Structure 1
Amino acid sequence: MDQQIRKLFTKYLHNRCTPDELQQLFQYLEQGQYWQEWDAALEKEKQLLLKIDRKSDVNPFQMQQLQERVMQQIRQQHAVEHQETSYRRTPGFSFRGIAASISLLLLGLLAYWYLPAPTLWIQSDIRAATAQQVKPGGNHAILKLADGKEISLTEAALGKLSESHGITATKTADGLLTFQVNASQSTSLDKESYQTIRTPRGGQYQIVLPDGSHVWLNAQSSLRFPTDFSAQKREVSLSGEAYFAVAPDKQAVPFSVKTDKQAVQVLGTEFNVTAYPDEMANNVCLVNGAVVVMNGVQSTQLKPGQLASVNDAQQPIVVKTVDPTNYIAWKQGLFSFQEEHIYSLMKKIARWYNVEVDYQGNMEGKVFSGTFSRFADVQDVLNVLQATGTIQLSLKERRIMVRP
């Protein structure tokens, strides 16, 4: 029986419960039953999801706070379930299942190599975290067609958005835009034309390009690509951040990604490119396959697990070995920081939550490591960062103040 209960809790944490199983789970927890099994399920998820370099000490008091917070979320969710006329599951990441439990667990157990003793501040602010909510980002983007027409992918209905020269743009579920080529209807263009998809602050989107390549676009980014990839080249331009899963080409036509400081050329592979205008360097992290990174003075071929950084088009490319999971965590719905300075960390938070950040005082040595959900309330994130005792954070409307 205990094993069955543990499986039930694990199914809930992975958003796989049926309506009947949810009803049973809520009854168990509200009656105070099977807490050992609940603890075991949470501990297992902590080990699977929490990526840290050193073991952190989370004492029983802190764990109790987390449990109370999760239970509060469960009860709220239970009330919502009773009000709905039907129960619907959606594929992929579910805010209702994961953010009500796993994201809070990750936030509470976030490790920066140490976690100070609990204080009254932590207890009171955790309970008041929803006082002023800043919502996390979501699937928001604008598609600009070759003729200049713009389509809000956030507001557009599912289905066909446009059709030109045998190429159909379709919006599907879960934030996906696909371009499909109908060879029988394809016609040549008088001149090369381009389309652009851009995400705002607090936005992300997925695109399947006409050649079959899959692109994940992060917040405050834009991707410019040809309406129809020619037989001679497959070339796109990126500002911001994107993850590419490039489709192999039968004619071995290379796929190129251009940014303001570099160019990346591949045949079929997966890699992440970061090229924000407000960042000093453009980075390319190779997950698998092979890519060639080029700037004005040098070209170099990367191996899986390597990162190439370009600070200036006229400076040498810097290559180092890294853990790719830290650079593609955003694609999986996570923030992942490894010895990252507060300036860099807060830029990512600002883009995703669409907030402004002000600094007051000396930020030297303010470096953090940890992993937590991108779908948590921003106040929860700030509470955990402040709990390290190294910085002070306050949120007013959509502006975060950072003090030492």
Structure 2
Amino acid sequence: MVELENIIVKFLNQEANYSELEKLEDFLKNEGGKQVFNSYVKTQYLSTLSMTEYDVNKAKETIKTRLKKSKQTRRVYLYRKMALAASVIFTFGMAFYLFYNSGQVETPEPEKQPNLIVVGTDKAILTLENGDEVALEKGKKYQTGKVSSNGEELVYADKGQSEVGDKVPLYNYLTIPRGGQFFVKLSDGTEVWLNSETKLKYPVKFTDGISRQVELIYGEAYFKVSPSTVNKGAAFQVLTKSQEIDVLGTEFNLKAYNNDPVMATTLVVGKVKIKKGEVTETLMPNQQATISHESDKIDIEEIDVSQEISWVKGLFSFNEKPLVEIMTVLSRWYDTEVIFENAKQKNFVFTGILERTKAVEDILKLIEATSEGQLKFEINDKTININ
């Protein structure tokens, strides 16, 4: 079976020789062989490509046209027979898709411009206590002292508390650029997920018995706070430019981007106290507190927290959101600029749950399809124009 799987891979990659093609052709003559072929291709290839808008019939016609132009050698003839067999058993047309893109035909293709807008990934800049900066990214390991990273997360040694009376605490900064995300586990066991365009300040070690304090300088972060009961009663506090959040042991989302009109704190589990100036409010689970930068007023409302924290689970969740807010979220994740040609387009409302792993083109096509002709997206380099 391993040999046949290798032949299938070679066929799809246009590398199978004459004898291998004959073996595969014989293998596909029985129903069991067809099922194995179909299952293997789906498992190995379909999961990595979006087939939601794949036009099988169009691909077939394109292949027929190109095959007529190709040289009528034995190799080309056999590949055509195999492609026809594959089309019968692989209803999704995956084999045709790979065959179509394999570059067999000698007909020159116009050069395609590279896609400059890519999906966000795990990456961050760690600023150490001495000012040195370390780039963290997938596939790149880093370790020094009691902190280590595998390229997808940053972990400080558990229970790295300083004794009362020690010298001034040392701080690290973790900066997430546009098009990035990262996870950090602080020395007290608190877990923090950081969204694109975010910066967090925190001590390398918390002082034993004193309130644990971190600062969200800007951006969005989801906190799963280590309870005070395992930290000798020390409470946990998150600071922003204009508010303080006191917690004991809880999970909450804090969004405080510089260019957003309000800051939003969403409580998932536990209990938090929010302070802005002289105003203090207590937040309960499934509630969100919003604060304007120009006012000390704290507004609290009941919300569906699953939508607010969907980004932690790898999703975009938009519930009747205006397009201007949606494009702000997308521009941070895909590191792109957005231009509205008409101000009215900003008010277009969209509802949907989408995967953050999708290409931006797929998401824009879906939004465009629901607009009934009101919207048209065009991508130029790293800019999305909305007409």
Q: TM-score, normalised by structure 2?
A: 0.69
Q: Which amino acid aligns with 2:135?
A: S
What is the DSSP-based 3-state SS (H/G/I as helix, E as strand, rest coil) of the residue aligned with 1:387? helix
Q: Structure 1, residues 70-98: CA drift from partner, whole Å, max 9, x if none?
A: 94668778999xxxxxxxxxxxxxxxxxx
Q: Which amino acid aligns with 1:393?
A: F
Q: Which amino acid aligns with 1:141?
A: A
Give, in whole Å, the separation in 1 of the partners of 2:260 and 2:130: 32
Give, in whole Å, the separation in 1 of the partners of 2:35 and 2:238: 48
Instruction: Give the alignment partner of residue 210 of structure 1, picking from 184, 187, 193.
Output: 187
Instruction: Give the alignment partner of residue 287 of structure 1, picking from 260, 268, 274.
Output: 268
Are 1:142 and 2:125 an aligned pair?
Answer: yes
Of 140-149 and 185-194, more deviation after overlay is shown by 185-194
Instruction: Give the alignment partner of residue 331 of structure 1, picking from 312, 333, 345.
Output: 312
**Which runs of 5 or more structure 2 residues have no equivalent in the other structure?**
1-32, 60-90, 102-111
Instruction: Give the alignment partner of residue 388 of structure 1, picking from 367, 370, 377.
Output: 370
- Within a 5 Å distance, the mapping from 1:22-171 to structure 2 comes to 27-28=37-38, 65=53, 71=92, 132=115, 134-154=117-137, 157-158=140-141, 160=143, 162-163=144-145, 168-171=146-149
User: What's the offset of the Cα at 1:132?
Assistant: 3.6
8 Å CA contact 2:138–2:150 kept in 1: the answer is no
CA radius of gyration, larger in: 2
Give, in whole Å, the separation in 1 of the partners of 2:261 and 2:95: 43
User: What's the offset of the Cα at 1:146?
Assistant: 0.6
Q: Which amino acid aligns with 2:219?
A: G
Are 1:254 and 2:254 an aligned pair?
Answer: no
8 Å CA contact 1:337–1:368 kept in 2: the answer is yes
User: What's the offset of the Cα at 1:360?
Assistant: 1.3
User: What's the offset of the Cα at 1:249?
Assistant: 2.2
User: What's the offset of the Cα at 1:338?
Assistant: 1.1
Number of the residue aligned with 2:383: 399
Aligned length in residues: 299
**1:145 to 1:337, Cα distance in 2 relative to 1, 3 A:** same
What is the DSSP-based 3-state SS (H/G/I as helix, E as strand, rest coil) of the residue aligned with 2:184? strand
Give, in whole Å, the separation in 2 of the partners of 1:187 and 1:213: 20
Number of the residue aligned with 1:373: 355
Give, in whole Å, the separation in 2 of the partners of 1:253 and 1:184: 11
**1:184 to 1:312, Cα distance in 2 relative to 1, 3 A:** closer
Give, in whole Å, the separation in 1 of the partners of 2:126 and 2:360: 28
Give, in whole Å, the separation in 2 of the partners of 1:288 and 1:24: 51
What is the DSSP-based 3-state SS (H/G/I as helix, E as strand, rest coil) of the residue aligned with 1:256? strand
Give, in whole Å, the separation in 1 of the partners of 2:280 and 2:236: 16
Of 146-155 and 369-378, more deviation after overlay is shown by 146-155
Give, in whole Å, the separation in 1 of the partners of 2:142 and 2:246: 32
**1:288 to 1:25, Cα distance in 2 relative to 1, 3 A:** farther
What is the DSSP-based 3-state SS (H/G/I as helix, E as strand, rest coil) of the residue aligned with 1:348? helix
Number of the residue aligned with 2:212: 234
**1:199 to 1:338, Cα distance in 2 relative to 1, 3 A:** same
Number of the residue aligned with 1:190: 167
8 Å CA contact 1:296–1:313 kept in 2: the answer is no
**Which runs of 5 or more structure 1 residues have no equivalent in the other structure?**
1-22, 33-37, 43-62, 81-128
User: What's the offset of the Cα at 1:313?
Assistant: 5.9
Q: Which runs of 4+ in 1 moved over 6 A?
A: 23-26, 73-80, 182-188
- Within a 5 Å distance, the mapping from 1:355-366 to structure 2 comes to 355-363=336-344, 365-366=347-348
What is the DSSP-based 3-state SS (H/G/I as helix, E as strand, rest coil) of the residue aligned with 1:153? strand
Are 1:302 and 2:283 an aligned pair?
Answer: yes
Number of the residue aligned with 1:225: 202
Give, in whole Å, the separation in 1 of the partners of 2:160 and 2:333: 39
What is the DSSP-based 3-state SS (H/G/I as helix, E as strand, rest coil) of the residue aligned with 2:137? coil
**1:25 to 1:76, Cα distance in 2 relative to 1, 3 A:** farther
Among all aligned residue pairs of Structure 1 and Structure 2, give the percentage whose two residues are the same amino acid.
Answer: 28
8 Å CA contact 1:305–1:324 kept in 2: the answer is yes
What is the DSSP-based 3-state SS (H/G/I as helix, E as strand, rest coil) of the residue aligned with 1:347? helix
**1:255 to 1:65, Cα distance in 2 relative to 1, 3 A:** same
Of 240-249 and 130-139, more deviation after overlay is shown by 130-139
8 Å CA contact 2:116–2:382 kept in 1: the answer is no
Of 189-198 and 220-229, more deviation after overlay is shown by 189-198
Of 175-184 and 289-298, more deviation after overlay is shown by 175-184
The answer to which structure, 1 or 2, has the higher relative contact order (CA under 8 A, 6+ apart) is: 1
**1:402 to 1:148, Cα distance in 2 relative to 1, 3 A:** same
8 Å CA contact 1:133–1:377 kept in 2: the answer is no
**1:146 to 1:187, Cα distance in 2 relative to 1, 3 A:** farther
What is the DSSP-based 3-state SS (H/G/I as helix, E as strand, rest coil) of the residue aligned with 1:350? helix
**1:243 to 1:30, Cα distance in 2 relative to 1, 3 A:** closer
Number of the residue aligned with 1:101: none
Q: Structure 1, residues 223-251: CA drift from partner, whole Å, max 9, x if none?
A: 00012111211111111001000001232
Of 148-157 and 363-372, more deviation after overlay is shown by 148-157
8 Å CA contact 1:134–1:353 kept in 2: the answer is yes
**1:332 to 1:79, Cα distance in 2 relative to 1, 3 A:** farther
Instruction: Give the alignment partner of residue 352 of structure 1, picking from 333, 342, 346.
Output: 333
